[in-house]
Amino acid sequence: MTHGPEAKDELRHLPVINGRVARSSIRTDGQRVRVDPADTRGRFIRARRVVFVILIVAWILLPLIPIGGHPALFLDVDTRRFYVLGQVFNAQDTWLVFFLVTGAGFGLVYTTALLGRWWCGWACPQTVFLESFYRPIQRLVMGPREARLRLRARGGPAVFARRLLTHALYGVASVVVAHIFVGYFVSLPKLWAMMHEHPGAHATTFAWMLALSLLFYVDFGIFREQFCVVLCPYGRLQSVLLDDDSLVVGYDDARGEPRGKGKTKAAGRGDCVDCGRCVVVCPTGIDIRNGLQIDCIACAQCVDACDEIMDKLGRAPGLVRYDSLRGLRGEARRILRPRMVVYTGFLIAGIVAATLGFRKHEAFEANLLRLPGAPFTRDEGRIRNGFEIHLVNKSARPESFHVAPEEGAKETFIVPIADVTLEPLASQRLPVFVTVPQADFTHDHPIRLVIARGGPRPEKRVLSATFLGAR
């Protein structure tokens, strides 16, 4: 919040909730209100830090650790090959992205109905990067909130120099984050090699890295909570995704009100001592005591802040807590409710469809196709059909294949290339000629070929086509 002469004007333009001037990072006239959250201590901030470290380590390791000879996650846009945990996908598999996108979207809808905005407060990259890299930089150079406010009020060249340093470090952090991000598309070892060459040698990659660095700098260094409050579509959908039984961060109005300052509790007063700690720690600058607001990212910093105050006052924690709106009203929270039953039905249907879809993603593709031109030819008393096998190795490692007629076949098969080894996602066309003596031909009939993949995971597949001829 602004301090000084602009404060009055700012208050005039803040939204009013339940007759109170509400805290917000945006005024009713659209102006941004500066948010400078204070640090918190407590069980939730500790747990979140652990989660953030795990997520960041996973994010760094995914393009580094090899699975099946390739990075665990490598979206090779150059060759349009996508390596995901040992599986390789190509452009023909993009239909599977439908399951990934809808699955992630619906998973978020489902878990939001149950657990509220767990994603925003605990796992969203906006929160994870901001809280893990950028705010610590700000704290390191400018000090904690009170020191920052003092410095800002004082101004002068020394403060300017500190702010410059802060933003320079934001820039460095943004470049590092952008490099790892780009590593997902060119692989980290290749990126490392590129970094030792002139930027002009890899102009496109370099341009992407610069653009992403700028984007991250503006977002995490300047835009910050405005992304959650103004831009994020998931945040905008909260009013339809949440209901009275979803888990939210809320203030126990019945217990806290009427609020009043002072350590000793006067008769008839609630537990809230109106210290404002829950407000100053809020990264989106709201006052949770005004009720659930769309700006709340459920980070639980106000929970830790209030618990600390309650602890100092010798009162029970949980005046601000994770609970459902129903629970905050003193009623029992329902997990199983019509919305969850319908969602669970959709979830099961989605899982079944996705499982079937991914099972269709075969380790190799083999199709027996008739050669273009005449359907059959006659040659020295024999009828001849020409085919070709279109073979694609869709696994992440080189594979060997062997082509042979099915056992007991009456036709004569000529397979010029019976054995072939293909690199990942490589394909080859293998000609196959089938002949039948004219005298033995009675009618069109099916023919069968067996294609066998060797190696540690052998697999056989029978390909069939129709042998055509005339008597």
- Find out whether 387 and 433 touch, Cβ atoms under 8 Å: yes
302 near ligand SF4, judged by CB under 6 A: yes
Stretch that binds ligand SF4, among 229-237, 298-306, 394-402, 432-440 (CB under 6 A): 298-306
Contacting residue, 215, 275, 409, 426, with ligand SF4 by CB under 6 A:
275
Report strand pairing: 377-379 vs 320-323: unpaired
Residues near 166 by beta carbon (within 8 Å), at least 6 away in sequence: 137, 138, 141, 142
124 near ligand SF4, judged by CB under 6 A: no
Number of residues this chain uses to bind ligand SF4 (CB under 6 A): 29
Between CA 447 and CA 451 the distance in angstroms is 13
Compare residues 55 and 299 and give the one whose CB is closer to ligand SF4.
299
Residue 466, φ and ψ in degrees, nearest 5? -105, 130
How many CA atoms lie less than 13 Å away from 399 in the CB half-sphere? 26
Compare residues 251 and 467 and give the one whose CB is closer to ligand SF4.
251
> Closest separation between CB of residue 300 and ligand SF4, Å?
5
Amino acid at 276: G
- Find out whether 303 and 41 touch, Cβ atoms under 8 Å: no
Among residue numbers 221 through 260, which ones bind ligand SF4 (CB under 6 A)? Answer: 249, 251, 256
Rounding to the nearest 10 degrees, give the CA dihedral for residues 132, 137, 143, 149. -90
- Find out whether 296 and 286 touch, Cβ atoms under 8 Å: yes
325 near ligand SF4, judged by CB under 6 A: no
Closest by Cα among 398, 306, 267 to 43: 306
Compare residues 242 and 320 and give the one whose CB is closer to ligand SF4.
320
Contacting residue, 299, 325, 403, 451, with ligand SF4 by CB under 6 A:
299
Contacting residue, 14, 137, 296, 396, with ligand SF4 by CB under 6 A:
296
- Find out whether 279 and 345 touch, Cβ atoms under 8 Å: no
Compare residues 169 and 273 and give the one whose CB is closer to ligand SF4.
273
270 near ligand SF4, judged by CB under 6 A: no
> Closest separation between CB of residue 244 and ligand SF4, Å?
18
Contacting residue, 288, 383, 389, 465, with ligand SF4 by CB under 6 A:
288
Helix spans in 282-418 (H): 301-313, 325-328, 338-359
Contacting residue, 70, 81, 202, 277, with ligand SF4 by CB under 6 A:
277
Between CA 371 and CA 430 the distance in angstroms is 11
Compare residues 177 and 310 and give the one whose CB is closer to ligand SF4.
310
282 near ligand SF4, judged by CB under 6 A: yes
Amino acid at 115: L
15 near ligand SF4, judged by CB under 6 A: no
> Closest separation between CB of residue 327 and ligand SF4, Å?
16
> Closest separation between CB of residue 320 and ligand SF4, Å?
5
- Find out whether 468 and 376 touch, Cβ atoms under 8 Å: yes
Cα–Cα distance list, 418 to 114, 254, 422 (Å): 57, 80, 13
> Closest separation between CB of residue 77 and ligand SF4, Å?
36
> Closest separation between CB of residue 194 and ligand SF4, Å?
40
The DSSP bridge partners found for residue 88 are: 83
286 near ligand SF4, judged by CB under 6 A: yes
Contacting residue, 305, 368, 415, 447, with ligand SF4 by CB under 6 A:
305
340 near ligand SF4, judged by CB under 6 A: no
Compare residues 13 and 259 and give the one whose CB is closer to ligand SF4.
259
> Closest separation between CB of residue 140 and ligand SF4, Å?
22
For 29-55, give one letter per residue: b (16+ CB within 10 A) or e.
eeebbebbbbebebebbeebeeebeeb
Between CA 123 and CA 53 the distance in angstroms is 11
Compare residues 328 and 447 and give the one whose CB is closer to ligand SF4.
328
Residue recorded with tokens 């929160």: 127
Contacting residue, 88, 306, 325, 340, with ligand SF4 by CB under 6 A:
306
Cα–Cα distance list, 79 to 74, 83, 201, 363 (Å): 11, 11, 18, 18
Chain contacts with ligand SF4 (rule: CB under 6 A):
249, 251, 256, 272-278, 281-284, 286, 288-289, 296-302, 305-306, 309, 319-320
